[in-house]
Chains A and B, each alone.
Chain A
Amino acid sequence: MKVLVAVKRVVDYNVKVRAKADGSDVDLNNVKMAINPFCEIAVEEAVRLREAGTATEVIAVSIGSKSCQEQIRTALALGADRGIHVETEGDVEPLVVAKLLKGVIEKEQPQLVILGKQSIDGDNNQTGQMLGALTNMAQGTFASEVAIDGDKVNVTREVDGGLQTVSLNLPAIVTTDLRLNEPRYASLPNIMKAKKKQMDVYSPADLGVEPKAHLTTLKVEPPAERKAGIIVESVDELIDKLKNEAKVIS
């Protein structure tokens, strides 16, 4: 079984991102970039499936400018077998990403596609579901457990109020939640080996897709600041403030 994993290059999760003063965009000058944490979990899950003998090959795909080849190399160092880079100018929207991934799926015919549930930059949480609709595949989103069962996959999902398990026909789409697994660290020998692994580069045209903008960002700004509060000296004072000043308890 072939597994396709999508990875995205994003600002490292430890970086506190700010809007530029002129409100035109976020300030990404000289910030550390990394593989999106949910995508890293997706790579780990795919590699574990191969180590368990369920998957035969793990292909890591990333879409974006040339620099996202770094994140493909990271995925290869974590254990993916080969990479595919779909080179685009700048960022593309989730629907376009989904169309490009559909093109890759048509070439590669994977039985399972694993993506992160969302990227920590746009926080859209759309691509996996859109890909499911475009390919008419079933989807197991926000997965906390993935179990292949013959020609089906059982996915346990994190939903409001608890967990839900669904059974999906293969080929299928899975999007990862935080607790699906704990990704490994890449070892130095594996980082070296990753440099020699195959990476194919496609253009959107190679996949029959013309990127289109559906949304325009007009402005970015910092969120409304909360006004500074006060430090109370005792539990009694806290209760008094909550009852008589804030009036949130009676």
Chain B
Amino acid sequence: MSTLVIAEHDNASLKPATLCAVAAAQAIGADIDILVAGEGCGGAGEAAAAVAGVRKVLVADNAAYAHQLAENVGLLIAELGANYDNILAGDTSNGKNIMPRVAALLDVGQISDIISVESADTFKRPIYAGNVIATVQSADARKVITVRCTAFDAVAAEGGSAAIEAVDAVHDAGISSFVGEELAVSDRPELTAADIVISGGRGMQNGENFAMLESLADKLGAAVGASRAAVDAGFVPNDMQVGQTGKIVAPDLYIAVGISGAIQHLAGMKDSKVIVAINKDEDAPIFQVADYGLVADLFTAVPELVSKL
């Protein structure tokens, strides 16, 4: 049996999602190859070769794959994937965008967002915003899978010495092109990779007040997130949203500030190791999942925390 893991990378280096997908591949138990598709992606290819437990790294370096356009990369993965039993990717926006295309090209179902591997063909995955966990069995000979990264511990990024093989296949569907991107620039860690996450909700009252959370985040080396209510109210941009329809996070410490704890939000953070809730409403549902709850006005509690840490 063999598994192809699709690397999440920025051409120069690998993203943590790759290491989680490799961990899920190890749980399946087959030989693991990694595909790095991009443009000028030699650096990411070398990083992939250093990942522990990898047999071979395929590097497809071509302008057609520069921006991970699903129309092009999907064709490449479907061609290479025909030689594998399993094709895995992390639950990143690229993974979600590309993998169903691969599954359809191979005429198989996709198993989205697996949180555990029960056997080579049976997996657990959350449905209904995480309110229910389904155990599903695939009848397809070839399995296309996306991996819920927060559910698998990343494998070591170092220690391996896989062979690197160049892939010459160029698939340019010619039906889509990259126009531009606006990526948030921040000195703080990425939400999905941070050890500590501090999120604000509607209780923050406005965007300016998030500065308080930022000073707390800087003290703790944390990332700053938000609930959907705070995003919908226009306090902060979309990419900060933690929840079923936003980012799924599972840091060592999650501090929810002024967040009531809607199901939607809990689905995005309830796998955090330690959860702290600060809210002045003692009946807020967030306290039911919090390890430590502080019933207090956030506008006094947060500055006090900042000054005492």
Contacts and interface: CB of A to CB of B under 8 A. Distances in A.
A134 B104 contact: yes
B218 interface: no
B93 A219 contact: no
A205 to B, nearest CB: 19
A208 interface: no
A217 B123 CA distance: 10
Interface string B114-140: 000000001000111111111111111
B129 A123 contact: yes
Contact of A231 (B103, B252, B287): B287
B135 A218 contact: yes
B117 to A, nearest CB: 14
B188 interface: no
B173 interface: yes
A159 B70 contact: no
B180 A165 contact: yes
B93 A158 contact: yes
Given A162-B184, A219-B134, A229 B292 contact: yes
Contact of A214 (B140, B178, B192): B140
B103 A95 contact: yes
A144 interface: yes
B291 A215 contact: no
Contacts of B301: 235
Interface string A77-117: 00000000000000001110010000000000000000000
Interface stretch (A16-24, A42-50, A66-74, A186-194): A16-24
Contact of B101 (A16, A139, A172, A241): A139
Interface residues of B, number: 87
Given A216-B136, A220-B133, A229-B293, A168 B176 contact: yes
A52 interface: no
Nearest to A225: B289
Contact of B104 (A98, A125, A169, A248): A98
A147 to B, nearest CB: 11
Nearest to A182: B232
B200 interface: no
Q: Which of A131, A162, A241: most chain B CB closer than 10 A?
A: A162
Interface string B244-285: 110100001100000000010000001001111000001000
A181 interface: no
Given A138-B173, A218-B136, A246-B291, A129 B70 contact: yes
A125 to B, nearest CB: 5
A230 B220 contact: no
Q: Which of A160, A217, A221: most chain B CB closer than 10 A?
A: A160
Contact of B109 (A94, A162, A164, A235): A94
Contact of B70 (A11, A139, A169, A239): A139
A241 B292 contact: yes
A74 to B, nearest CB: 21
Contacts of B194: none
A238 B305 contact: yes
Given A18-B132, A123-B113, A123-B126, A235 B305 contact: yes
B308 A217 contact: no
B293 A222 contact: no
B252 A248 contact: yes
B11 interface: no
Interface in A198-245: 213-223, 226, 228-232, 234-236, 238-239, 241-242
B294 interface: yes
A33 to B, nearest CB: 14
Nearest to B137: A216
B3 interface: no
Interface in A139-179: 139, 141-142, 144, 154, 157-169, 172, 177-179
| A-B complex: 4 closest residue pairs judged by Cβ atoms | A214-B109, A129-B100, A130-B104, A133-B104
19 contacts: A17-B131, A120-B244, A133-B105, A134-B104, A138-B173, A141-B70, A160-B92, A160-B239, A161-B190, A165-B180, A167-B179, A168-B175, A213-B139, A221-B135, A222-B133, A228-B288, A229-B292, A238-B294, A246-B253
Interface of A: 11, 16-19, 26, 93-95, 98, 120-134, 136-139, 141-142, 144, 154, 157-169, 172, 177-179, 213-223, 226, 228-232, 234-236, 238-239, 241-242, 246, 248-249
